[in-house]
């Protein structure tokens, strides 16, 4: 990658990029409340399942299909994946988690790094834009390779959930970084497998995450929006 391109990817995947990622726990807040996640081992196992069978896998597949459609400026394919991504989440909170971040990402990226691909999507789809669709679209528009962009996206997704878990359990920062290190292999496996999967495979099998998200909607004390 050219230096400027690498810097853009680092900026977009940084915790400081203004999408509000820090305010979402993807159901972990309720999982901690009921004791399902309570230490380093249980948080790591939870996140490995999210990456292998849940939202992480869903996002990775959506990301790969968006990136390819954006590179070829295939408006029909972009609409298909954007529509599916907006409708796919099992609960209202998980839906807002992806679409709120997606809309915020598009606004921030367009303001600083405008790209024609975003206009192609808007012409084809006027609904909410999910987070993996927004990031993949932007990466494709700036000629960032799919493999590199996808690895960065999945890592940022996982690292944000580790951060939520560290605050909620709570865990020490060193324990959190041990989890980040342990997730390297699952992240790389997912980044390799997801581009080979058909769009119809973008479904979640982590029902306990969905249930925790549903319960979180009425949880009495909440720090996070999901």
Confidence of residue 200 (pLDDT cuts 50, 70, 90): very high
Distance CA 141, CA 136 (A): 8
Residue 222, domain member (yes or no): no
Residue 2, domain member (yes or no): no
Q: Could you tell me which residue, 73 or 34, shows the higher pLDDT?
A: 34
| Per-residue pLDDT at 204 exceeds 90 | yes
Coil vs helix vs strand at 214: helix
Looking at the 3D structure of the chain, how many domains does it have?
Answer: 1
Instruction: Give the pLDDT confidence of 79-130 residue by residue, as tens digits.
Output: 999 999 999 999 999 999 999 999 999 999 999 998 877 778 888 889 999 9
Residue 1, domain member (yes or no): no
CATH of the domain at 142: 1.10.4190.10
Distance CA 2, CA 177 (A): 29
Distance CA 84, CA 199 (A): 9
Distance CA 56, CA 68 (A): 19
Residue 16, domain member (yes or no): no
Contact indicator for 166, 119 with CB cutoff of 8 Å = no
Residue 80's domain spans which residues? 37-211
Residue 76, domain member (yes or no): yes
Give the pLDDT of residue 2.
62
Residue 226, domain member (yes or no): no
Residue 46, domain member (yes or no): yes
Distance CA 221, CA 198 (A): 40
CB neighbourhood size of 172 (10 A): 11
- Global confidence as pTM: 0.97
Phi, psi of 38 (to 5 degrees): -145, -5
Residue 201, domain member (yes or no): yes
| Per-residue pLDDT at 215 exceeds 70 | yes
| Per-residue pLDDT at 221 exceeds 70 | yes
């Amino acid at each position: 990658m050219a230096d400027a391109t690498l810097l853009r990817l680092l900026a977009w995947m940084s915790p400081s990029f203004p999408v509000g990622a820090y305010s979402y726990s993807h159901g972990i807040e309720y999982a901690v409340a009921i004791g399902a996640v309570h230490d380093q081992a249980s948080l790591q196992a939870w996140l490995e399942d999210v990456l292998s069978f849940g939202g992480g896998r869903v996002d990775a597949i959506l990301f790969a299909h968006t990136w390819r459609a954006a590179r070829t400026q295939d408006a029909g394919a972009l609409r298909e994946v954007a529509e599916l991504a907006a409708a796919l989440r099992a609960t209202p909170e998980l839906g807002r988690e992806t679409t709120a971040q997606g809309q915020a990402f598009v606004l921030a990226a367009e303001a600083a790094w405008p790209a024609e691909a975003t206009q192609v999507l808007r012409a084809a789809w006027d609904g909410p834009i999910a987070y993996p669709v927004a990031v993949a679209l932007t990466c494709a528009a700036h000629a960032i390779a799919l493999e590199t962009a996808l690895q960065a996206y999945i890592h940022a997704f996982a690292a944000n959930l580790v951060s939520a878990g560290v605050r909620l359990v709570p865990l020490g920062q060193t324990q959190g970084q041990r989890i980040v290190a342990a997730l390297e292999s699952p992240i790389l496996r997912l980044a390799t497998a997801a581009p080979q999967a058909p769009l119809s495979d973008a479904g979640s099998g982590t029902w306990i995450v969905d249930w925790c998200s549903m319960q979180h909607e009425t949880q009495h004390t909440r720090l996070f929006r999901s």
